[in-house]
A = this chain, B = another copy of it.
């Protein structure tokens, strides 16, 4: 029933050979003592936990799903989920990158990020229970009062309690300005909150003794729209003296959704009937506070799809080596067998390498972004922090949208390798496709990500952030421009860099005339920039691999082959995307809505 082996070798390559995290972290006082061995050990242990505890629950969790007892509002998670969560807590995993002041282990996010790739690969539905806690932790840490932090953070860090994000309502998802949940002032500075929320992942479950809901709602005097939204902390059980769960707060699960996938995770409709909550941050500034959570969540969603890409790839490879079917067109490769293993067929290899390249590129890219977050949070030099923050702002929507589009495509290709068996539940491949589909939607649809990238991150500052990142690529191009062996990578990298510059300017000019040009170009634009970033990281990885290809370690041969595949087969998507992005708004806007 499938397998998952943590890709430790490639993670080590990315962290140490590509990103030199040990040296990088030496510049961050908080992490200066961390060495490569410790990082590798943590990831090795994490990989074991993912493979041996979480992966065996993945398929069964999908088949079983979650159950709601309507009378008690209690949600039962699939068999084994609760026990796995206990092991997760006992292993100290929730605390990995949390602040030691609250019981955390203080490891950098770049390590936590790799850990998250593995647990998501093993079981996305399960990982969403603790995954949401992480957002709540970051939001409280950034915006909570000292008392709130003291009361709640240790519980989140230990994993005793989990967290949620309660944003969406039935009539508003993307457009949170429309939300209606009300918060009325109550005794002791608390608020009484009433309303209905939907799509609340891990909104109710049986894995932890308490759940901290972060809820967006409106104060009585709040202005309309997004400027009248406040953020509240609404615990399932109100902490009693000593911090133990006390009175049950009337925030209850009214229904759990039947979904395409992630069946093991309870997607809850939550009803708040005068639930007691406490303001987080300033009144009417709830969206800003929530954005702390959302940015982390967007990187997290990228990691979900990276994990699915990897696990789908691994299983497809195993099948392609085992399954005997037809002979190679260029002559039998396993003449002693009744047919050749299907991995001899070029198109099977195309499907496998597509998933492989999306995984390897995504791993390099997302690890880089996580490292930039560490730098943004902890570098002593403000200039450096600011520069890292700009990179994170620019690259986060790309991690979210590009990796999730790629992950869905990769899972679908991996399914296809199985032929008819891919469509059958017991092989597990179709679950990866179903699970991967949500990642293109939640935490801001991929269209929203693309508008964020093109509208806010690129056009709003006239391309300044993009130019800064482009200069880094340009420096690499110049450094290796005369290296004959690198020209197969440098030439197309330089080319796509030029094209991104021109395309950005062209869209910027058109947007002056008509803002719809931004919406018309945004989705293909994001993917073009995603390819620029992937081409850059594949070129850097190829350089390392070229230097070590005669080391006797076949890892570098494989890395080089994957990089070459990326440039030959995946980067050409930009030829389509640039034409689409340049085709403008006219062909989209011509048809009257009535004529659709």
Complex: A587 Cα to B554 Cα, angstroms? 17
- Given A259-B430, A260-B434, A590-B564, verify A523-B350 contact (CB < 8 Å): yes
- Judge whether A280 is part of the interface by a CB distance below 8 angstroms: no
Q: Is A464 an interface residue (CB 8 A)?
A: no
Check: A544 CB closer than 8 A to any chain B CB. Answer: no
A519 at the interface (CB under 8 A from B): yes
A484 vs chain B, min Cβ distance (A): 19
Alpha-carbon distance A345/B430, docked complex (angstroms): 32
A442 touching B426, Cβ below 8 Å: no
Whether B168 lies near A349 (C-beta < 8 A) is: no
Q: Which of A170-178, A187-195, A270-278 contacts B (4 or more CB under 8 A)?
A: A170-178
Distance, CA A54 to CA B356, complexed state (A): 42
CB-CB under 8 A from A341, the residues of chain B are 593
User: A168 contacts B420, CB within 8 Å?
Assistant: yes
Q: At the interface, yes or no: A568 with Cβ under 8 Å from chain B?
A: yes
From B514, B523, B591, give the contact of A562 (CB < 8 A).
Answer: B591
Q: Does A230 contact B (CB under 8 A)?
A: no
Contacts of A587 in B (CB 8 A): 353, 561, 564-565, 567-569
Nearest opposing residue in chain B for A438, CB measure: B423
Contact status of A178 and B339, CB under 8 A, knowing A442-B420, A445-B419, A579-B572: yes
Judge if A329 is at the interface, Cβ distance under 8 Å: yes
The answer to whether B430 and A595 touch across the interface, beta carbons within 8 angstroms, is no
Q: A541 within 8 Å of B by Cβ?
A: no
Q: Which 9 pairs from chain A and chain B are nearest by CB?
A: A572-B579, A346-B519, A260-B430, A329-B515, A575-B575, A568-B587, A576-B576, A258-B425, A561-B591
**13 A-B contact pairs sorted by A residue (CB < 8 Å):** A260-B433, A328-B516, A329-B516, A343-B596, A345-B519, A346-B516, A347-B450, A412-B437, A419-B441, A422-B441, A430-B434, A572-B575, A576-B576
Q: Given known contacts A173-B419, A330-B516, A416-B446, what 11 new A-B pairs fall within 8 Å (CB)?
A: A63-B258, A178-B324, A260-B424, A320-B596, A348-B447, A350-B520, A350-B523, A352-B596, A420-B442, A423-B441, A569-B588
